[in-house]
Amino acid sequence: MRSPAPPALQPLAQQVRRLETALRYLGEPLSDADHTALDDAIGMSDEAAAVARIQQVLDPHALITVHISPESRVRLEQGAAPPELVQGGARLFLVKVLNDAGVTAPLALKSPNVGNVYIPSGASGGSPEPKKVLTDADARDRWAEMSFYTQSPMRPRLSGLAVEYAILQVTSRDAGKRSALVGINVGQGSQDVGFRNDVDVLFDARPSHPVVVRVRDEHGQPTTAGFLVKDRLDRLYPTVSKRLAPDFYFQPQVYRHDGQSIALPAGDFTVTVSRGPEYLAQTRRFSVKGASELIFDLLRWIDPAQYGWYSGDHHIHSSGCSHYENPTEGVRPEDMWPQIDGEALNLASVLTWGPSYYFQKQFFSGADHPLSTSSRLMHYDLEVSGFPSSHAGHLVLLGLKDQDYPGTKRLEDWPTWTKPILKWGRDQGAVVGFAHSGWGLEVKSSELPNYEMPGFDGIGANEFIVDVTHPDTVDFISAGDTPYVWELNIWYHTLNSGFRTRISGETDFPCIFDDKVGLARSYAKVEGPLTYRKWLDAVRAGRSYVSDGKSHLMDFTVNGTLAGAAESEVRLASPGRVSLSVKAAANLDPQPNEAIRNLRYDDKPYWDLERARIGVTRTVPVEVIVNGERAAVQNLVADGKVRTLTFDLKLDRSSWVALRVLPSAHTNPVFVLVGGKPIRASRRSAQWCLDAVNQCWTQKAARIRASEIAAARAAYDHAREVYRQRIAEAEGR
């Protein structure tokens, strides 16, 4: 018989970090004291003592200890964790595994008291029970659901470490004391003799009570809001791991409309109620002793719609990424609506894409979804992602009449590069652009603009550098959901070269961000009643600004011309002065959030007003940008008040002019033409664009279909010739 290997600190410490991450994600984090104790233990120089200390910290949370003998026999014993549950909700427990055999099989769970047992793929839990009609007694005994949590960062199999911990989820249908016979093994024949691989656990499930929420907006009207509920141990409610749509398991909050309820056990809780960045979050402590009611009157610090500016997130998904894909193939419009209403978005584009495409496309109609209201629109459209052209950049197509590319029957039939798809979308009146622009455009510099050459090897605005040179092909590139330097750099260079593509804000929920919809959004100026078409036309015209919703740059004008009106053009007969005006507002907490302020610009959240805070003050800079360079600045007090700011500039040549609060808000530009000359602001920018075309071709050509390569090569050659001409015409360095 071989002796079991002693526990090793480094792999155990790494597994503990994964465990902590998973527990935090699932809404039942370890306490701060436990976290500190684990940090101290991992830092100990004596490895044996460190391993022992880690177990001392974690063992009180273990419901069951699994002993695997050197012969791979399994026996169980109950651990020290109190077997306390909540009716209708899940609780998380640790399962400690002492693995003397170095087994790497999955843990398989079996119990006669479970109605829905998850056995990992490849695990052997014995012969299945024969199907039979359940009696009332059978139904009464099957009161629980149990499963091991094996999603990332946890693992579906044991690692073979001498000591490790798994996460067991237990859900109780009932309240009161309930007994469960729990069996765990690591494959057929691993059970120990004498039924020692079973343990009988007596659970006590606290009853849940309905807590009705009454939530009213700033006008006193019933509305929807997000509710983040935690108990005194910082555990989230409803239980994250067992949420089903319309509650999403990957979000800490749930959304409830006025009159709906949240089931909670007796105890003390904290709730934070929010409704998007235009509202002030409210936190309240409360106690539950039985059925009860909570009343909330929401406070709004700004309402851009009062000025004609309507918020929209043009990139939201109802399948793929964090969503469930099977068996429901994503979620339905009824499940997306509380997300949109609860974040106070005026407009949401829910984009069908590769994952679950054939199921989700049934919700596309070319019209607003019937759940829409006069001030809140939900519209299904298309992202070309998971299609053959995806390598060249994902595309957002808004306002489509038909979502099937001509001559195609399956996604695999679509073009393998972007220009034909963009032109097809434009031909049917759609507003089209590139998604999550920064991917593939990574640089090390934090300067704007900068002249580093990105790889053009991703799925952002890569082939944009080519498509922008073809008239009536691309309307916008997206901003707000990738690092701002990577997004804005390519846009600034193309603007400096005389092109007029706009930017539009997006979240890419729940892929890049799954916290909330509308974390990045566009505010578009719409005259009269809001419609999807009017909002899209404003985005195409540049009558819009990108924002995280925490700062606003409304009604930006140059010499009285509104950005996005009159083709965004102002003409000067000769060099001279121009006057700028904007309604600006921002809202920062008085206390700085150092966790965000100290992040690198390529760490999430990429766009956040906190990053713009000046020192420890409550002010942020509003910058005037001329041809990519800062030309003037005024500080704005971020106290929620709307203020009119004015600037006076001298322009000696044709230029594009925009405003920004970096990285929180950015307007689209106004194009000032001096002496009738086009904008050719920078020779270096035009040269960067030419070099970028060449770099992009090296990354994309190999994946373009043979039948399309000639047309693609011609498009790239056209772009090269256009940039060479712009280099020759450039006025600036």
Domains defined for the chain, CATH in brackets:
9-127+139-197 (no CATH), 208-300 (2.60.40.10), 304-543+684-733 (3.20.20.140), 548-681 (2.60.40)
Q: What is the mean pLDDT of residues 383-387?
A: 97
Q: What is the mean pLDDT of residues 547-554?
A: 98
pLDDT for 195? 54
Read off the amino acid at residue 27: G
How many residues are there in the chain? 733
pLDDT for 192? 55
pLDDT for 116? 46
Q: Is 305 exposed, middle or buried (0-12, 13-18, 19+ CB in 10 A)?
A: middle
Measured distance CA(437)–CA(443) in Å, rounded: 13
Cβ distance 361 to 293 under 8 Å?
no
Q: Three-class SS of residue 52?
A: helix
Q: Which of 85-99, 136-150, 281-295, 607-621 has the lowest mean pLDDT?
A: 136-150
Measured distance CA(217)–CA(375) in Å, rounded: 14
Provide the sign of the torsion angle of the four alpha carbons 319, 323, 328, 333, taken in this order.
negative
Cβ distance 123 to 103 under 8 Å?
no
Closest CA to 210 of 264, 282, 287: 264
Of all residues in the chain, the percent with pLDDT exceeding 90 is: 88
Q: What is the reported pTM?
A: 0.89
pLDDT for 122? 34
The first and second tokens of residue 84, run together, are 């306390």
Residue 117 has pLDDT above 50, yes or no: no
Measured distance CA(288)–CA(634) in Å, rounded: 49
Q: What is the pLDDT of residues 387-426, one digit of tens each?
A: 999 999 999 999 999 999 999 999 999 999 999 999 999 9
Provide the sign of the torsion angle of the four alpha carbons 488, 493, 496, 502, taken in this order.
negative
Of all residues in the chain, the percent with pLDDT exceeding 70 is: 94
Measured distance CA(353)–CA(334) in Å, rounded: 19
Measured distance CA(708)–CA(714) in Å, rounded: 10
